[in-house]
Chains A and B, each alone.
Chain A
Amino acid sequence: MDTSQLLKGVLDLAVLAVVVEEDAYGYDIVRRLREAGLDDVGDASVYGTLRRLFRSGWLSSYVVPSDEGPHRKYYAVTPSGRQALSTGTKTWRHFADVLDDLLGTSGRAAA
Chain B
Amino acid sequence: MTTTTTEPTLDRRAADYLAAVRDHLSDLPPDERDDLLDDLESHVHEVAATTDGPLDDALGPPSSFAAELRASAGLAPAAGAPRPPLDRLRRRTDALRRHPWTRAVVDFLPELRPAWWVARGWLLVWLAAEATGGDSSWFPLPELWGNAFLGLIVTVPVVAWSVRLGRNPAPPRWRWVVNACAVLGALVMVGGVGEADAAAGYVTVDDLGQDRIVPNPAGAGASDFAILWWPDGSPITDLDAYGADGQPADGITLVDQDGRTLDLGPARSLPPSPDPAPRVPPRVEPGAAPTTSTSTTGSTTTVPVPPVPAS
Binding site for B on A (CB under 8 A): 8, 11, 25-27, 30, 42-52, 66, 68-73
A-B residue pairs, 6 tightest by C-beta:
A48-B72, A48-B73, A44-B68, A44-B69, A70-B42, A45-B72
CB-CB contacts below 8 Å: B32-87 with A:
35-36, 38-43, 45-47, 49, 59-60, 64-75
Contact B42 A43 (CB under 8 A): no
Q: Which residues of B lie under 8 Å from residue A71 when comparing CB positions?
A: 42
Q: Which residues of A lie under 8 Å from residue B74 when comparing CB positions?
A: 48, 52
Contact B59 A43 (CB under 8 A): yes
User: Which of A8, A27, A45 meets B43, CB within 8 Å?
Assistant: A27
Q: How far is the CB of A17 from chain B (nearest CB, A)?
A: 16
Contact B42 A72 (CB under 8 A): yes
User: Which of B1, B38, B43, B75 meets A43, CB within 8 Å?
Assistant: B43
Inter-chain CA distance A44–B43, complex, in Å, is 10
Task: Tell me the dominant secondary structure on chain B's binding face.
Answer: helix
Q: How far is the CB of B39 from chain A (nearest CB, A)?
A: 5
Contact A26 B42 (CB under 8 A): yes
Contact A43 B47 (CB under 8 A): yes
Q: How far is the CB of A44 from chain B (nearest CB, A)?
A: 4
Contact B72 A73 (CB under 8 A): no
Q: Which residues of A lie under 8 Å from residue B38 when comparing CB positions?
A: 73
Q: Which residues of A lie under 8 Å from residue B70 when comparing CB positions?
A: 48
Q: Which residues of A lie under 8 Å from residue B68 when comparing CB positions?
A: 42, 44-45, 48
Q: Which residues of A lie under 8 Å from residue B73 when comparing CB positions?
A: 47-49, 51-52
Instruction: Give A44's nearest chain B residue, CB to CB.
Output: B68
Q: A26-B39, A44-B59, A44-B65 are in contact. Are A69 and B72 (CB under 8 A)?
A: no
Instruction: Give B41's nearest chain A residue, CB to CB.
Output: A70
Chain B's interface size range is: 20 to 34
Instruction: Give A64's nearest chain B residue, CB to CB.
Output: B42
Contact A47 B60 (CB under 8 A): no
Q: Which residues of A lie under 8 Å from residue B40 when comparing CB positions?
A: 26, 47
Q: A52-B74, A68-B1 are in contact. Are A47 and B36 (CB under 8 A)?
A: yes
Contact B69 A48 (CB under 8 A): yes
Inter-chain CA distance A48–B73, complex, in Å, is 4
Instruction: Give B35's nearest chain A residue, CB to CB.
Output: A51
Q: Which residues of B lie under 8 Å from residue A46 when comparing CB positions?
A: 72
Inter-chain CA distance A50–B45, complex, in Å, is 18
A47-B43, A49-B72 are known contacts; what are 6 more A-B pairs with Cβ within 8 Å? A44-B72, A47-B39, A47-B72, A47-B73, A51-B36, A66-B42
Q: How far is the CB of A55 from chain B (nearest CB, A)?
A: 8
Instruction: Give A42's nearest chain B residue, CB to CB.
Output: B68
Q: Which residues of B lie under 8 Å from residue A11 when comparing CB positions?
A: 72
Q: Which residues of B lie under 8 Å from residue A68 when comparing CB positions?
A: 1
Contact A48 B42 (CB under 8 A): no
Contact A73 B39 (CB under 8 A): yes
Inter-chain CA distance A82–B36, complex, in Å, is 23
Contact B42 A42 (CB under 8 A): no
User: Which of A42, A50, A52 meets B39, CB within 8 Å?
Assistant: A50
Q: Which residues of A lie under 8 Å from residue B36 when comparing CB positions?
A: 47-48, 51
CB-CB contacts below 8 Å: B1-48 with A:
1, 35-36, 38-43, 45-47
Contact A52 B43 (CB under 8 A): no
Could you list some 6 contacts between A and B, CB below 8 A? A11-B72, A26-B43, A44-B60, A48-B36, A48-B69, A66-B42
Q: Identify which of A30, A43, A52 gathers the most chain B CB atoms within 10 Å of its CB.
A: A43
Q: Which residues of B lie under 8 Å from residue A47 when comparing CB positions?
A: 36, 39-40, 43, 69, 72-73
User: Which of A27, A45, A50, A73 meets B46, CB within 8 Å?
Assistant: A27
